[in-house]
Structure 1
Amino acid sequence: MHWSLAVLVVFADALIVAMAASALLDPSLANGLGSEQVGVVALMAFCMLALGIANILAVPMFFSHYVQLDDHRLSIVLGVHRASIDCIGILSVSEKIPASAGYVWKPTAPDPVRIHGRLFDEVVAVANKELLYEELLERNPRIRIVRKDES
């Protein structure tokens, strides 16, 4: 798991909790809830709900992230995100990921690999890229491998 995801989750948690605490400790709340305070409390409730949803999506990534290659399928699990790809549908595997792609920072690990198919695009990071390439080519010899150092 990439360390930047952990930093982002902890920072967001701390920020939202600090905002909620600040709103709840506001001295004007001691006099009862006026229309402005109701808005602040509603906003804080919304922020806490957003925090809960973000944590439900992000925290499982720390405990469940792997790539599994079966006889004819590549399965990718990243927290609650699961994808299963038929190896025959994979067109290319590339170490080059365009900077304009939104998934460059996908929270996997440094040095990701882009798996491109007819109907999908996934990004994964594996400990041994060469083994992944070898296993994929064994299942589908038509897969094009694009390395970083190739032009």
Structure 2
Amino acid sequence: TQPCDYLVSTEEEIMLDAGETARVPRGGSPDLRYLLTKREKSCISQACRIYKFRFRRDPNKDKNLFLYLGDNVSNRLTGSAVSKRIPTLRMSGGKTWHVMSRRWLTGREKLASLGFPVTASAADSMGVPELPVRDTKRASAISGNCMHFSTVAVVQFVALVCYN
């Protein structure tokens, strides 16, 4: 899979997630188009400059470029440019920004990246019911510092086999 494969949220879910961000008071005047703080916008700008210098490509055309906006880019740039993997999800509340689509991962998309069956196709392939996600804030909290679903399943299986 590629990082962009996890952009699975519907327009409604994106708007619910954006609405949650817009509801929380921010310092200064937030850019309503992107709902980001000045610091988050600065992180994106700095990271895109670094990307352009390092890879000699337009970061806005890389469908797999995600940036974690919770870190200070001047001393820690966390993104998918080198690894082609979504940055580690954290509980700190920093957004994982998708540069090309100019939005962040929703809670549902974070869960999808961790192997949770949040889409019909994923649920069908796993033979389980689809996990409904309506509370994006709770979904984001669950996904922070979480392990991939299949990894946990293997660990549990080994534990059951070895200690039963």
TM-score by length of 2: 0.22
Give 1 or 2 for the bigger CA radius of gyration.
1
Higher share of residues assigned strand: 1
TM-score by length of 1: 0.24
